[in-house]
Amino acid sequence: MAQEKVRVGIIGCGGIANGKHLPALFKQDIVEIVGFCDLIEDRAQQAAKKYGFADATVYTNYRELLKDSSIRVVHVCTPNSSHAELTIAALEAGKDVMCEKPMAITSAEAKLMVEAAKRTGRKLTIGYQNRFRPDSQFLNLACQDGQLGDIYLAKAHAIRRRAVPTWGVFLDEEQQGGGPLIDIGTHALDLTLWTMNNYRPKVVLGTTYHKLGQKENAANAWGPWDPKKFTVEDSAFGFITMENGATIILESSWALNTLQVGEAKCSLYGTEGGADMDDGLRFNGERFSRLFEEKVDLNAGGVAFFEGKQEDEGDVESRLWIESVLYDREPLVKPEQALVVTQILEAIYESAKTGKAVYFND
């Protein structure tokens, strides 16, 4: 009997679709990418030409794509401001949805997405691919096994020295909802909450800065930015206290005068040990009345003359997501978890704006 195929539609055929979603989906034998939607028709045409199945159709109106009853899964790869609208429409059209991170600009929108998934009975997941890295998976299992004990302090790292994305709408606050905090800080926070398995924030204090973004002809990985178009923060920081008393310190930047860089990483501090991702995955603690540190070798090794199948975190994310749809499994990234990430990010922005701490109600 032939393997059932999962037909997929893509809404938004820009950078993240071509950089992660489409290549990963295209590698899967059980997937047929048949719908390509973008406001710029030529962009959708190019994506369809490269990744489309034989009967692929191009759209400029996402509602037309959603009318295709053969499409079972939709990936939303558009600017942040449209995530909620498109995701809810796709769920209500009977599709299972992978929405690119962050879930939404506001927690109110994110809640509507969660409610829509529950109301329609469709699956919803968010594109936090860093959970699928080998080091992230190992650390999460160690935490589940109690290797770190009670984790009462964590740091979420998303620091770039000079790597401001100057294309698309990254610098547009209205379209994106913010800068590095909502762009890369969201990955670090998701990873931290997931490894701690702690999703109950109590109070948040945050600061944002627009300092280096005002500079002309600045050094930058992707060329100088236009200060007049740089309407988001260039760095943001949060201090989060959880209901159980644990503390999370979140740091994010696109531009910061520092040599200590790294993103989508976390450091954990528990009663039985600690762990960090600063130089690979490292554990530390006390054993036999002596302090120790241990670096984990995440290379699985191999068999002579055979390298095996190579997958990066985007590939693994896509494969497990499609399998969750096909075999009715719960996705690794749950929408309720992504909602908490959005709530905390929103609270950091609010705190930075008002100068006051933001308290979460029970």
SS3 content of the chain, % helix, strand, coil (to 5): 35, 25, 40
Which residue type, as a one-letter code, is found at position 71? I
Same domain, 101 and 118: yes
Look at the alpha carbons of 198, 201, 205, 209 in this order and tell me if their dihedral is positive or negative. Answer: positive
Query: Number of folded domains in the chain?
Result: 2
* 61 and 141 share one domain: no
Residue 102: asked if its preceding bond is cis (omega within 30°), the reply is yes
Any residues with CB less than 8 A from the CB of 305 and at least 6 apart, and which? none
- Three-state SS for 82? helix
Does residue 294 sit in the same domain as residue 152? Answer: yes
| pLDDT confidence of residue 260 | 95
| Euclidean distance between CA atoms 199 and 281, whole angstroms | 23
Q: Taking every pair of C-alpha atoms in the chain, what is the biggest distance, in angstroms?
A: 66
Of the candidates 323, 331, 330, the one whose C-alpha atom is nearest the C-alpha of residue 4 is 323
What is the spatial distance between Cα 341 and Cα 328, in angstroms, rounded to a whole number?
25
d(CA 66, CA 63): 5
In a domain, 1, yes or no: no
Q: Is 305 a domain residue?
A: no
What angle is formed at CA 234 by the lines to CA 229 and CA 239, rounded to 5 degrees?
145
Report how far residue 193's alpha carbon sits from residue 83's, in angstroms, rounded to the nearest whole number: 22
Beta strands in the chain (DSSP E): 6-11, 31-37, 57-59, 73-76, 96-100, 124-127, 151-159, 201-209, 235-242, 247-253, 262-270, 274-276, 282-287, 290-295, 358-359
Provide the residue range defining the domain that includes 165: 132-300+341-359
- Could you tell me if 284 and 316 lie in one domain? no
Query: Tokens in use for 120?
Result: 């329609």
Q: Is residue 306 part of a domain?
A: no
**Beta strand 282-287 pairing with 274-276:** antiparallel
End-to-end CA distance of the chain: 52
- pLDDT tens for the chain, 362 residues: list them: 567 899 999 999 999 999 999 999 999 999 999 999 999 999 999 999 999 999 999 999 999 999 999 999 999 999 999 999 999 999 999 999 999 999 999 999 999 999 999 999 999 999 999 999 999 999 999 999 999 999 999 999 999 999 999 998 999 999 999 999 999 999 999 999 999 999 999 999 999 999 999 999 999 999 999 999 999 999 999 999 999 999 999 999 999 999 999 999 999 999 999 999 999 999 999 999 999 999 999 886 554 544 556 789 999 999 999 999 999 999 999 999 999 999 999 999 999 999 999 999 85
Please tell me the distance from the alpha carbon of residue 335 to that of residue 196, in angstroms, as a whole number: 17
| Interstrand relation of 124-127 and 247-253 (parallel, antiparallel or unpaired) | unpaired
- pLDDT at residue 183 in the model: 97
**136 and 248 part of one domain:** yes
**Do strands 290-295 and 282-287 pair parallel, antiparallel, or not at all (unpaired)?**
antiparallel
**CA nearest neighbour of 11 among 28, 68, 107, 55:** 68
Is 123 in the same domain as 201? no
Say what the pLDDT of residue 38 is. Answer: 98
Same domain, 321 and 204: no
- Spatial separation of the C-alpha atoms in residues 246 and 223, rounded to whole Å: 40
Other C-beta atoms closer than 10 Å to the C-beta of 359 total: 11
Domain CATH number, residue 233: 3.30.360.10
Return the pLDDT at 305: 46
107 and 185 in one domain? no
Selection from 138, 181, 156, 190 nearest residue 262 by Cα: 156
Tokens of residue 27, six digits = 């590698």
- Is residue 113 in some structural domain? yes
Are both 141 and 246 inside the same structural domain? yes
Pair 231, 319 in one domain:
no
Q: In terms of domains, do 141 and 282 share one?
A: yes
The whole-number pLDDT of residue 309 equals 60
Is there a single domain that holds both residue 230 and residue 108?
no
